[in-house]
Amino acid sequence: MNKDLLIDSLKNEDIEGFRAEFLELHPYDQASFFKELDEEHREKIYHYLSPEEMATLFENLEIDDDEYKDVLAEMNPNYAADMISKMYVDDAVDVLNELEKDQVVSYLTIMDEEAAQEIKDLLHYEEYTAGSIMTTDFVSISANQTVRSAMYILKNEAPKAETIYYIYVLDEQKRLLGVISLRDLIVNDDDTMIADITNDRIVSVSVGDDQEEVARKIKDYNFLALPVVDFQNHLLGIITVDDVMDVMEEEASDDYSKLAAVSDMDTIDRNPISAARKRLPWLIILLFLGMMTASLIGRFEETLNKVAILAVFIPLIAGMAGNTGTQALAVAVRGIATGDLEKESKWKLIIREAGTGLITGAICGVLVAMIIFIWKGNIFLGILVGISILCTLIVATLAGALIPLIMHKFKIDPAVASGPFITTINDLISILIYFGMATLFMSYLL
């Protein structure tokens, strides 16, 4: 891509030169170039490209959700509405979902009536469901026709279909009967009946299914697209693999942000006030949990006064609890997200993590007891810290595995059991175990 040549064409207002060079680029490269331009140059592009050409670029534009509003505001409203109507329906819905309701109504009002109706049909589906990410741009045929007539339909419908590799077979009531691949149409004779080559063992999803479940199903079956049906098995739309990749990226980003106790990490806040507003709720919760830890330590002030050396090992005990709890948390959350835990017993995970905690706790406990004995010359202090680490690692590992499982059971996103949250909870548990053991060992430490 010759960026300098394109920039020069924009500066010199060389429309023909710009179009000749720009339209040769892949849509992703077009979008990447567009994203780097300032507003003045972008406004020229709106005059140089037709709404249909701009729609192809816009479908590949990777910007923050809030920026869609700003880019559309730069365009003439009629041009923007026409561009949105030329996009694939699911992509158009994704863009409109980022706008205010009055803006959406405004665009739909001045849009082509047929395109507006298709978009309206998808806009009412609940966000993050199969219905919200499906497209109605698919090819369907009847069972009682020949391959020749099906190929005729395919040729006519292909330009506006999002994918032509799967052709869906419907009955007279638009119920899904089966699917035929493009290969099936090509290799069979023209006079072959569609009913004879239809694959009726079809995998579909319900319009209300969670988008994460849809993504998992496409990955498991290695499909390029998946049909979306209602409760009566009417075909409403399809979900293509490119949309699923977007869902997987979105879900991964969402889970990671929750594990870090930060919301909406998919957008980069350039305003520190906005960024602070998003982070403060979790930080305030963690602050109060931290105060509980401090209060718990205060309750053992008398123990600390008698054996001040105990304070040295508080960070060690708490840190080990936080680390092992976060490891168990990551295993559990990943198992839930990938669906692996649906295939095995939850008890197997709990027993495995308890065993892991026991083994790691025993090894770390013996190791730290030996180090403390060599360092401080006090075998009882070493045994105290060693046993505390053993108990702490077992409990912390179990907590890291159990909390997300319990949340998942109650239909709460398990990623909410974030790293900082589980760490702070395990701090409380570890301090309680440590000072409880110290109280028992007090006579040997004095």
The helix (run of H) or strand (run of E) holding residue 103 is helix 101-110
- Over the stretch 87-122, which tens digit does the pLDDT of each residue have? 999 889 989 988 888 999 999 999 988 889 989 989
> Does the structure show a pLDDT above 80 at 249?
no
Q: State the pLDDT at residue 436.
A: 87
- Over the stretch 300-333, which tens digit does the pLDDT of each residue have? 888 888 788 888 898 899 889 888 888 888 888 7
Alpha-carbon gap, residue 224 to 240, rounded angstroms: 6
Q: State the pLDDT at residue 253.
A: 61
Per-residue burial over 46-57, b if 16 or more Cβ lie within 10 Å, else e, is bebbebebbbbb
Q: What is the DSSP string of 317-370?
A: HHHHHHHHHHHHHHHHHHHHHHTHHHHS-HHHHHHHHHHHHHHHHHHHHHHHHH
Prediction pTM value? 0.64
> Does the structure show a pLDDT above 70 at 269?
no
Strands 235-240 and 225-229: antiparallel
Q: What is the DSSP string of 156-194?
A: HHGGG-S--SEEEEE-TT-BEEEEEEHHHHHHS-TT-BH
- Over the stretch 362-384, which tens digit does the pLDDT of each residue have? 999 999 999 999 998 889 899 99
Q: State the pLDDT at residue 376.
A: 86
> Does the structure show a pLDDT above 90 at 411?
no
> Does the structure show a pLDDT above 90 at 237?
yes
Q: State the pLDDT at residue 266.
A: 47
Q: State the pLDDT at residue 208.
A: 92
Mean pLDDT, rounded, of the chain: 86
Contact predicate 14/5, CB 8 Å: no
Assign 244 a pLDDT band (cuts: 50, 70, 90): confident
Percent over 90 (pLDDT), the chain: 46
Burial class (CB in 10 A: 0-12, 13-18, 19+), 414: buried
Mean pLDDT for 194-211 is: 93
Mean pLDDT for 331-355 is: 78
> Would you mind telling me the total number of residues written for the chain in this entry?
446
- Over the stretch 42-78, which tens digit does the pLDDT of each residue have? 999 999 999 999 999 999 998 877 788 889 999 999 9
Largest CA distance in the chain: 97
